[in-house]
Amino acid sequence: MADIPEEHLTEELLDRLLASASIEQYLDEGLVSARTLTDYLFDRMEAHGLKRADVVRASGLNATVVYDIFSGKSRPGRDHAIMLAFGLKCTLRETQRLLRLAGVSELWCKQRRDAIIIWCIRNGFDRIATDDELYRMGEATLLPAD
């Protein structure tokens, strides 16, 4: 099972960057990641013993949308990225990393809706239970109602 490599804190990396005599010195340290979203998605799928069909089912996303994201044809919006994270059974840390790689904002505990989603992830809720909790709390669900 693939494991997430140790990640340095952003603040630590920023300190190293600012203390570097040149950008080359910082980049030569090898701390900048070249990992792509698609690499990460496949890595998490393998690590959690899933197939793409499992991800489609658990995320609530259309199969074509999931296949296009996995193939790199399209990038998910924020809610679709969160739904993918649920489909991939991501931990909170893995979800935040997926969101960063998707180029969307991470979940932020100062935002009411994000706080609910964070709490649900941390407590092992799936996407459907999370949508139920969002609805119960008067927030927009991840999968919009028809």
Residue 4, pLDDT > 60, answer no
| Residue matched to tokens 């900048």 | 32
pLDDT at 25: 82
Mean residue pLDDT of the chain comes to 90
Residue 48, pLDDT > 90, answer yes
Dihedral sign of CA atoms 61, 62, 65, 66 in order: positive
Amino acid at 39: D
pLDDT at 124: 96
Residue 107 DSSP one-character state:
P
Domains located in the chain, CATH noted: 35-136 (1.10.260.40)
Residue 135, pLDDT > 50, answer yes
pLDDT at 104: 97
